[in-house]
Amino acid sequence: MHPAIQPGHTAVITGAASGLGLAAAHHLARAGLRLCLADVSESGLAAARDGLIASGIAAADVVTRVTDVADPAHLTALADLAYAQFGAVHVLMNNAGIQPGSSIFDAEGRWDRILGVNLFGVVHGSQIFVPRMIASGQPGLIINTGSKQGITTPPGDPAYNLSKAGVKVFTESLQHHLRGLPDAKVEAKLFIPGFVFTALTAHGRSERPAGAWTPEETVDFLFQSVARGDFYILCPDNEVTRRIDEKRILWAAGDIAENRPPLSRWHGDYGDAFATWLKD
């Protein structure tokens, strides 16, 4: 168990009304943590709180706040609530995210919102909470939700890929900074889910595809990885093994090292070479 995840400690989770955030809330509630939950959906937060109370958490140990993570003032208000209610924050999960789709020239006008939520929600959340967590002198854990699309950057959704690539770079920089602080007991982790069946990935489907993990399976893997001390929490699923993920990531890096065209995995001249690489 990570020292930040202890009975009586406090977790703040954004994007907590559904999916991975809600699954993480239930996991941490079972571990005895108090919860401060944030989301843009007021009704979703109310349902999440009711479900947690029904599962056994005390009503006084779970608070909610409607929060738009793209607005730093909202995040400051969330931090003020958490500290006023519970006195400390030990776990921060910057998890809120959207994926409405995007195009390279932003004909839909979505880029600012996607980057505001997915990237700057993580950046500002960390900048607002983490100095207080460090100053407390207590163990702390920051979990930032990234994506494999932020590493291999497949074509088709450039704004989402950019936002998640930014989360990766920011979280690496954050952890490097934290480990250089002489007395800090706070560390950061990069959460990289696989194919998870949530509202973000359902795309109109009402039943979970066979290849997808549930949010609960993914969150269990997350906290097992945290307990092992992993920084890069690269989650498999029922379609993609860790070996396949590793090969895809190494191929993407090879585009630079071997001076191939960008996104050569999807380039017609390199399809056979990639298929052979994946099998070898």
Asked about 160 being catalytic, the answer comes back as: yes
Residue 26 CA to residue 33 CA, distance in Å, equals: 10
Asked whether 102 and 155 are in contact (CB, 8 A), the reply is no
The angle subtended at Cα 169 by Cα 165 and Cα 174, nearest 5°, is: 145
DSSP-assigned letter for residue 119: I
Residue type, 263: L
- 212: its two tokens: 């997808």
CB atoms near residue 190 (< 10 Å) = 24
Cα 78 to Cα 81, 101, 157, 274, distances in angstroms: 5, 28, 30, 46
List, by residue number, the catalytic residues.
160
